[in-house]
Amino acid sequence: MTTGSDCSVTLLLARAKAGNTADVERLFARCRNYLGVVARAQVESWLRAKADASDIVQETMMQAHRDFAKFRGATEAEWLAWLRKILAHNVADFVRRYRGTEKRQQRLEVPLAPPPDHSSIAASLEPRDPGETPTQEIMRLEREFQVADALTRLPEDYQEVIVLRNLERLPFEGVAQRMGRSRPATQMLWMRAVRKLQEELAHGG
């Protein structure tokens, strides 16, 4: 079940495609946290603080809203894939702009590489069964939304340590360096963050 009073993304998508303006807005609002987590994982994994993931999400949402009539899919998975494609395009645009700026300044502070594929939040937090049924896929997608919503309710340092460790798959030593903490302190922070995330999922999902 979807948290709160919102109906499922699948139902919202069907109503939005049928021309219900209010449900178009509800659909985009329902997907914002999900996109935010995906964008944050992509951006922070290789550009660190060079880009604000929320700005990229906002740009993605605006473009998707503008081009909503062009979306030809019918399923929740197709809808999320469409949003992620727009997001990936915007991330790539940022790369090009950043590279151009760095070349003009004749310096490069961090190595640039293609962003990792974070097409599925659940794929980074839990193993995915390649033989899942359509019903299992719906449940997995719903779980991804729940994880994204719960993650955004955590304190900022909890969010960061989970993104770095679980989504970017950095070793604890790397997470500690990124967060400016010792490794033992980082591991303790991560354990507290995971427990809090689990509590949020249990109480809010």
Q: For the stretch 146-165, what's the b/e string if a residue is b when 16 or more beta carbons lie within 10 angstroms of its beta carbon? A: bbbbbbeebeeebbbbbbbb
Contacts for 82 with CB less than 8 Å, ≥ 6 apart: 64, 71, 73
- What pLDDT score was predicted for residue 9? 84
Domain that holds residue 86: 9-129
- For residue range 137-155, what is the model confidence (pLDDT) as tens digits? 556 666 788 888 889 999 9
Let me know if residue 166 belongs to a domain: no
Residue 161, both tokens: 């340590």
Residue 73, both tokens: 């899919």
- What pLDDT score was predicted for residue 106? 45
- What pLDDT score was predicted for residue 108? 44
Residue with tokens 């079940």: 1
CATH number, domain of 65, equals 1.10.1740.10
Band the pLDDT of 113: cuts 50, 70, 90: very low
Residue type, 63: Q
Let me know if residue 63 belongs to a domain: yes
Higher pLDDT, 14 or 144: 14
Residue type, 48: R
- Domains: count for the chain: 1
Residue 61, both tokens: 């949402």
- What pLDDT score was predicted for residue 4? 39
